[in-house]
């Protein structure tokens, strides 16, 4: 599975306290499987909040090996 996250800051560790609280589905670290959409989000937040657009790519072969994750899937 390959997931993407677009940002305007350097992310060393995922911290929910650093996430903006008033997103569509609440505070969270949002990932998507569409790289172009994550790129657009990175450009958008960099334009609004400053910084440089950054695209993060997360590759995970087996989600069952992640012990501290809570996923909510939304179909579009």
Largest pairwise CA distance in the chain: 36
Segment 10-38 shows an average pLDDT of 86
Neighbours of 9 (CB within 10 A): 14
Neighbours of 69 (CB within 10 A): 10
Report pTM.
0.75
pLDDT tens profile 31-74: 899 999 999 999 999 999 999 999 999 987 766 666 566 666 66
Strands (E), 1-76: 2-7, 54-59
CA–CA dist 60, 41 (Å, integer): 22
pLDDT at 19: 82
């Amino acid at each position: 599975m390959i997931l993407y996250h677009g940002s305007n800051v350097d992310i060393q560790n995922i911290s929910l306290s650093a996430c903006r609280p008033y997103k569509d589905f609440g505070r969270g670290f949002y990932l998507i499987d569409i790289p172009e959409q994550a790129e657009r989000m990175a450009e958008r937040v960099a334009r609004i909040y400053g910084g440089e657009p950054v695209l993060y790519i997360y590759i995970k072969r087996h989600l069952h090996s992640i012990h501290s994750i809570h996923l909510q899937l939304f179909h579009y």
